[in-house]
Amino acid sequence: MAQPSSEMTDPRLDTVERHGYLFGHPIAHSLSPLLHQTIYDGLGLPWSQFPLDSTDMDLFLRLREDPRFYGASITMPHKVTILPHLDTLTPEALAVGAVNTLFLRTSPTTGARLYCGTNTDVIGIRDAFYANVPSPAATFHHKPALVVGGGGAARSAVYALRTWLKATRVYLVNRDREEVRAVIAECTARGYGGELVDVASVAEAEALEGVGAIVACVPDFAPRTEAEVEARAVLETFLGKAHKGVVLEMCYHPAPWTEIAEIARGEGWGVVLGTEAMIYQGLEQDKYWTGLSVGEMPVQKVMEVIAGKLSEARL
């Protein structure tokens, strides 16, 4: 197996037995290396995940050939462009059409290294709800759900809500109707787009059944344009309905407590921070890389370390 050339060597690699990468751009704010280092230290593994802040796919493809490489977290802008460079995809990655985790397997016939892709973002969303909601059946099972946003995280949210949270339908709230149509078309083409509803106005929201689960997948900023103001008003209409469920606020940078989280709490909703989804998707990644179950990992220590890091950032 080819070794990386000398121009790609990193002195940090000599300090660990095995290594992975966080591959994306920009990634300076990412907590992924800290999360995984906490896990490896807790398990006594001489492993590390190193940031690779780059848009150079060829560089990454050469780096992954190192015999000590165990896998990678794949983030924007590479979650889709990595697909042609993988040998196989899990059902979650196929369904969402994006990969956030590269892991290795060995071909049973040739013994060659196989580069495999999965999407643990969907697991992070699922587990963030189930780990924080005492009564899923009463809160969100067999009720409509709602997704705010129209990007990749919104697609992952739709998949998780339809596949595991037992949502009867999913309302889509977004400032851009074209983005919503694209989400509906893609999810439908991939087999989980049934009962997706574009809710474009307050009048439409008022006529619809309340929801039990909301996933907010937009940055934390106050609405400014007419379309943004209308989208926020639509969300607030659902938050004001009689049934009070749980909001998963996926945004956690620069701070996990957002404007949407504050509005939701004021309306009597439960709020789950995006750091929860980030932690659970990271634990799922290490299941693929280490072969261990989440129950064997230092979950509580990870929670404490991430919370501490976020507290430092707010000081």
Q: Which two tokens stand for residue 18?
A: 């095995």
Q: Check if 287 is active-site.
A: no
Alpha-carbon gap, residue 59 to 278, rounded angstroms: 26
Alpha-carbon gap, residue 101 to 61, rounded angstroms: 14
Antiparallel, parallel or unpaired: β 213-216 and 246-249: parallel
DSSP for 179-217?
Answer: HHHHHHHHHHHTT--TTEEE--SHHHHHTSPP-SEEEE-
- Which residue do the tokens 């789950």 mark? 272
Q: Which of 79, 241, 287, 301 is catalytic?
A: 79
Helices assigned H by DSSP within the chain: 32-43, 57-63, 91-96, 121-132, 136-139, 152-163, 177-189, 202-206, 226-239, 259-266, 274-290, 299-314
- The CA-based dihedral angle spanning residues 164, 166, 167, 168, taken in that order and rounded to the nearest 10 degrees: 140
Comparing CA positions, the residue from 242, 247, 279, 277 lying closest to residue 261 is 247
**Three-state SS for 16?**
coil
Alpha-carbon gap, residue 279 to 272, rounded angstroms: 12
What region, left, alpha or beta, does residue 268 occupy, with left being phi > 0 and alpha being psi -120 to 50 degrees?
A: left
Please state, in angstroms and as integers, the Cα–Cα distance from residue 217 to each residue in 24, 102, 249, 250, following that order: 19, 23, 7, 5
What residues act catalytically? Answer: 79
